[in-house]
Amino acid sequence: MKILLVSLRGCPPYLSAQSYRIAKIAKFLRKAGNEVTVVGHRLCSGTVTDKGLIDDMNMYGQVPVVMIGKEPMLTRSTPSTRILNTLGVPDDFLFSIPNGLRELKKIISAEDIECIVTSNAPTSYILGSLIAQDTGISWIADFADLWADAPGLYVPTRLHRYWHRQIEKKILSQSNGISYVSESWESMLRGRYPTIKLCYVPNGFDSGEFKLSNPMKSNHHSLIFCFIGTIYGDMDLVFLKAFLDFIKKTPSANKFVKLKILGAIVPKKRNEIADLCKANGNIEIRGLLPHFDMIREVMGSDFLIYDLGTRGTARYDTLPSRLPIYVGSGKPTIACSLPGSFVDKLLRKFDCWRVVDSNKRDDIEKCFEEAWGLFSSGTDIGDLKTWNDEANFLRWDNIVENLNRFIQEVHG
């Protein structure tokens, strides 16, 4: 089947979790025998790209990438976009619609596209809706992020929130199918769109990525912890404070223990992290790296630290995009989560090394102490039990196989 994947926010070769999702869907749809074309928003000057992601996406055949829209795009920091947002305009890509519609129609006509899948930015859904009306081809809305219910969406009153939901409902009701990233959203989607077919498409891991790196470290002269994920403005950084407490109370560990922090750090948090660390030699901040560089860092570590945060991403009640990296690596993981939350239940089901309350600094510190005790005693950390077989449903090949069946079903 000839499939068009549209993702205005987060499209390969952007360096982002959304781009990774689209690249993996494209890769495994291509492996299943489909012809896939990816459409994204035109790259802005200075955009960091990930060549490895493109190379991996093309493993089973060339996947053309088409960029539309004008540079530069608007940002939410301008007064005009804040006003438009309040009135119900879904995102900063609204002004890409006229040009985007023309470009998509050209691609659909030239390539004989049979199905269009739109993801991430709400404007992608608007384009999908318009294309479906104009061409009659099948349209699937990939609900990779919340729209009207996203906690980051500013609305001054409940009436405005209601208005946003009506816009969302009007657009998505015209789709032939909806894929969604979190099991916890199913009942909400079934309530809003009772006649539309649904398919669960979580973020996943590609086992082939980890074979490129040696899962065992070349030496055992150091104990390395590794945190991966975005540090948002409202995260309490309890895991970092617990690590600093552990280092302070355990002088014997100072020469052997290191904490690596990988992923984006919002500007609001940079000064706070700098004040906490104060050039501490046990902490290395690597920042946002290309995906495959992150994998190498992960596989060179002993323990991983997953921190859902006390707020921030926890409010989305979704499967975070970085969690599958933890699962796929097979590394023992200290998972700091909110008791009773959707992700907490998943973590306990997957049976990772330790699951602790992300609010309890002392409990997290005890995990560092236990890991240090195992290292000091000469225990082979590579043999520690972590991530049972139930996590296999998060493999991208299994996920996209299910999505491919769904696309065939929707297309009829």
Question: What pLDDT is stored for residue 139 in this prediction?
Answer: 96
Indicate whether 162 and 215 sit together in one domain: no
Indicate whether 100 and 224 sit together in one domain: no
Question: What pLDDT is stored for residue 75 in this prediction?
Answer: 47
Q: What is the CATH number of the domain that holds 233?
A: 3.40.50.2000
Indicate whether 402 and 386 sit together in one domain: no
Indicate whether 189 and 330 sit together in one domain: no
Q: How far is CA 368 from CA 238, 243, 272, 273, in A?
A: 13, 7, 22, 19
Question: What pLDDT is stored for residue 28 in this prediction?
Answer: 97
Question: What pLDDT is stored for residue 72 in this prediction?
Answer: 45
Indicate whether 198 and 64 sit together in one domain: yes
**Cα 37 to Cα 2: distance, rounded to the nearest angstrom:** 8
**Cα 26 to Cα 349: distance, rounded to the nearest angstrom:** 29
Indicate whether 97 and 148 sit together in one domain: yes
pLDDT, tens digit only, all 412 positions of the chain? 999 999 988 889 888 888 999 999 999 999 999 999 999 887 776 678 888 999 999 999 999 999 887 664 444 455 555 555 555 555 666 666 787 888 899 999 999 999 999 998 788 898 999 999 988 999 999 998 888 877 667 777 788 788 888 889 999 999 999 999 988 889 989 999 999 999 999 999 998 888 765 555 545 588 999 999 888 887 888 999 999 999 999 999 999 999 999 988 888 888 888 888 887 789 999 988 888 898 999 998 999 999 876 554 445 566 677 888 899 888 999 999 888 888 888 888 888 899 999 889 999 999 999 999 999 998 888 888 788 888 888 999 999 999 999 999 998 8
Indicate whether 98 and 49 sit together in one domain: yes
Note the pTM of the prediction, 2 decimals: 0.88
Indicate whether 155 and 282 sit together in one domain: no
Indicate whether 232 and 176 sit together in one domain: no
The encoded tokens of residue 189 equal: 């989607």
Indicate whether 36 and 71 sit together in one domain: yes
| Structural domain containing residue 152 | 2-204+395-411
Question: What pLDDT is stored for residue 74 in this prediction?
Answer: 44
Q: How many domains does the chain have?
A: 2
Indicate whether 96 and 192 sit together in one domain: yes
Indicate whether 132 and 218 sit together in one domain: no
**Cα 3 to Cα 233: distance, rounded to the nearest angstrom:** 38
Q: How far is CA 238 from CA 103, 171, 228, 261, 276, in A?
A: 47, 40, 15, 14, 11
